[in-house]
Amino acid sequence: MNENIEMISGGAVVSDTVAEIKNIHKGYHQHPVLNGVSFSIPRGQIVGLLGPNGCGKSTLIKLMAGLLQPDQGEIRINGFTPGRQTKALISYLPERTYLNDWMKVQDLLHFFADFYQDFDLERARQMLQNLQIDDKQKLKTMSKGTKEKVQLILVMSRRAQLYLLDEPIGGVDPAARDYILSTILKNFDESSSILISTHLIHDVETIFDQVLFLDQGKIVINGQVDEIRELYGKSIDGLFREVFKC
Amino acid sequence: MPWSFDDNLPIYLQIIQILKCDLARGKYLPGEKLPAVRELAMEAGVNPNTMQKALAELERDGLVKSQRTAGRFVTEDKEKIMEVAKTLAYGEIARMIDNISSLGYSTEEILSLVEKYLTQSANKQ
C-beta atoms of B42 and A178 within 8 A: no
Rounded CA gap, B31 and A154, in Å? 42
CB contact under 8 A, A182 and B48: no
Q: What is the mean pLDDT of chain B?
A: 92
**A178 and B7 in contact by Cβ < 8 A?**
no
Pick B47's closest partner by Cβ from A209, A227, A235.
A209
Average model confidence (pLDDT) for chain A?
A: 89
pLDDT, tens digit, 9 for 90 and up, residues B51-94: 999 999 999 999 999 988 889 999 999 999 999 999 999 999 99
If 0-12 CB within 10 Å is exposed, 13-18 middle and 19+ buried, where does residue B51 land?
A: buried
Domains defined along chain A, listed by start: 6-243 (3.40.50.300)
For testing contact with chain A, the best of B3, B7, B13, B53 (most A CBs within 10 A): B7
**A205 in Cβ contact with A228 (< 8 Å):** no
The fold adopted by the segment(s) B11-76 is: Arc Repressor Mutant, subunit A (1.10.10)
Nearest to B42 among A182, A237, A238 (CB): A182
> How does A145-168 read in b/e, with b if 16+ C-beta sit within 10 Å?
ebbbbbbbbbbbbbbbbbbbbbbb
Between helix A225-232 and helix A236-243 the angle, nearest 10°, is 70
Output the pLDDT for position A8.
Answer: 40
Buried b (16+ CB within 10 A) or exposed e, A39-59: bbbbbbbbbbbbbeeebbbbb
CA distance A120 to chain B (A): 20
DSSP state of A233: S
Q: What is the pLDDT of residue A188?
A: 78
Contact A195, A44 (CB under 8 A): no
- Higher-pLDDT residue of A134 and A7 is A134
CB contact under 8 A, B45 and A45: no
Judging contacts by C-beta atoms under 8 Å, the chain A residues touching residue B38 are 185-186
Lowest mean pLDDT among A19-33, A88-102, A165-179, B48-62: A165-179
Write the ipTM: 0.74
Q: Determine the pLDDT at residue A5.
A: 40
E strand or H helix at A86, and its extent? Answer: helix A84-89
User: What is the rounded distance in angstroms from the CA atom of residue A62 to the CA atom of residue A135?
Assistant: 29
Q: Around Cβ B122, how many Cβ atoms within 10 Å? A: 8
pLDDT digits (tens, 9 = 90+) for A113-160: 999 999 999 999 999 998 899 999 999 999 888 898 899 999 999 999
